[in-house]
Amino acid sequence: MNIKTIFSILTICFAFASVTSAQDKFAKAISQDEFVTSHEKGLFTFELPEDITAKDVELSAEFYTIYFTVVFNKETHLVNIKLQDSEDRAVHVMGRLFISLGIREIRYMEKKYTIDEFYATYLKDGKKG
C-alpha cells in the first residue's frame, strides 16, 4: 500500500465518523408531565449532548434574545428556554437555536422527531405535549 491509498482510507474513515456523530446529536425533552406544565408558562427544558459547552449555548442564544432567554447548566447539560411572549413565532424560532448547536432531533416520550416534526406535533399554535 502506498501513502496515497492509506491517506484516502483515513480520509474516508474520518468523513464517515463525522457524518455518523453528527446524526446522533439530539436534545432530549423532559418528562411529559413537566413538559406540559412548563409549556403553559412558556418555559422549556431540554437536555443537550455532552459535547455542547456553555460557550456554544451562549454564542448561539445571543441571536435570539428578542424571542427567549436561555440558561444553561454545564453540570447537568440542561438548558432552560424562557419565551419572551407567547407568540407562535417565538416557539418556532427555538428550533433555530437547536440547529445552530448542531442538533437535528428532539427525543420526547421515547420517540425521535426532527426539529420541524417536534414543533408541528407539540408546539405549533399552542399545542401542549
Which architecture characterizes domain 25-126 according to CATH?
2-Layer Sandwich (3.30)
Q: Which three cell numbers stand for residue 36?
A: 406540559
pLDDT in tens, 8-50: 454 554 444 444 444 568 889 887 888 877 878 889 999 999 9
For residue 75, the cross-strand partners are none
Q: Are 27 and 47 in contact (CB under 8 A)?
A: yes
Res 89: pLDDT: 86
Please indicate whether residue 71 or residue 87 has the higher confidence score (pLDDT): 71
Mean predicted confidence (pLDDT) in 101-108 = 95
pLDDT at 100 over 90: yes
pLDDT at 92 over 50: yes
